Amino acid sequence: MWDLLLVLHEAALVFSMGVGLWVICNHFFTTDIPAAISHPVRLRVLHCLFQLSVTWGTIFEKLGICSMPQFVSFIYDLLPSKQDPDVVVKDLRFGTIPVKVYQPRMSSSTLRRGVLFFHGGGAIIGSLKSYREICCRLSKESDSVVVAVGYRKAPQHKFPTLMTDCLVATVHFLRTLDMYGVDPARVVVCGDSAGGGIAAVMCQKLVHWSDLPKIRAQILVYAVVQMVDFQLPSYQQNAKTPLLTTNFAFRCFCYYVDVHPSWKSVIMKRAHLPVEVWEKYRKWLGSENIPERFKKRGYQEVPPVAHNEDAYLETQQALDLMNTPLIAEDEVVSQLPEACIVSCEYDLLRDDSLLYKKRLEDLGVPVTWHHMEDGFHGVLNTLSMPYFQFPCSTRVLNAMVHFLKGL
């Protein structure tokens, strides 16, 4: 019996080492680290650790133990987070939706700004715990009340559960501002990555709600504002750049809108939508809306081809305005509040920010834009990682804080 246990232990050890070696080798063969990014070794190590958690999560998913996103979120939530004595943190529920409320401990003679924060993670990972330090610093440095929303995520909860949760939490907060000492004229929605997309959608959803305080501004940090075109210049240039590669982004997409992964080649060829649909939204989605300087690292336009009707039927939820707020009608977009948009050069989603920025500006919505020339997707999250912080992460937070202080 003991001999059998010893053999199993050694086999598990060998298998674990094999998984680790495979992740490292795969990283060097399939990942590009741009020379402009500071601390490239740090990013390599961080990406390998991330891929290791994804790989183990995938193994457990295939064994039926748990889903890959559940495992990755579990690992991230094990990371320690700092407690700041200057910020009071409360765990509450808005209806059934868990939230964390961050309030500066020092009393204020006036009502504070209120910030609704929606975390990123591709709608599959990320949590209230993993964003605790970011929200804590945002509250302290901007002297604002920050409410982080713990929405339900895929694959357990498909679209549109996430958006429903966030809308419920947003409306609840707007109706109870006085409980938190928040100025009704200074409520801001904010988010990074998928959370940035949520923030954009919340603004659009609330445009015609006359019985609620108006949203004062939106902060969108490398936000997802379209799930239609995976061949924009930034998708081609940064397909292999950590921390968000094309493969992982597409995996998030499949989990969230419940699309089978076998459609990847069809979608990448832009054959999942009819040509007339591409033409309809070209005025907002077309690469001609992206400044030429962002195409210098290489871009080859992929023209639409005859569509696959089965793929269209399965993927048409991508055209829902809650998934692609970029294509909302002018009548809605023109009424949106001013925006602070943060984009990163080495980010798969860079062009989402550029397209939404142009869309807002064309309709007269004021935009404050910060472009991080050495930034990559997910860099803000490194603020809470003592050994993996990047200078760019502090600049992103500073841009958010500076914008808030100006409201």
For 291-332, the pLDDT digits (tens) are 999 999 999 999 888 999 999 999 999 999 999 999 999 999
Peptide bond connecting 243 to the previous residue in cis, omega within 30 degrees of 0: yes
Quick check: 383 and 393 in contact, CB under 8 A?
yes
Q: What is the pLDDT of residue 80?
A: 84
Catalytic residue among 47, 307, 370, 377: 377
For 2-52, the pLDDT digits (tens) are 666 666 667 778 778 989 999 999 999 999 999 999 999 999 999 999 999
Q: Where are the beta strands (DSSP E) in 46-164?
A: 87-94, 97-104, 112-118, 144-149
Catalytic residue among 193, 234, 287, 384: 193
Catalytic residue among 165, 192, 229, 347: 347
For 125-145, the pLDDT digits (tens) are 999 999 999 999 999 999 999
**Angle, helices 68-77/40-62, rounded to nearest 10 degrees:** 130
Q: Residue 285 and residue 128: Cα distance in Å, rounded?
A: 32
For 348-371, the pLDDT digits (tens) are 999 999 999 999 999 999 999 999
Quick check: 76 and 128 in contact, CB under 8 A?
no
Q: What's the predicted TM-score (pTM) here?
A: 0.96
Q: What is the pLDDT of residue 1?
A: 61
Residue 339 phi, psi (nearest 5): -130, 150
Residue with tokens 């081809």: 305
Closest CA to 100 of 68, 129, 64, 60: 129
User: Is 347 an annotated catalytic residue?
Assistant: yes
User: Is 172 an annotated catalytic residue?
Assistant: no
User: Is 193 an annotated catalytic residue?
Assistant: yes
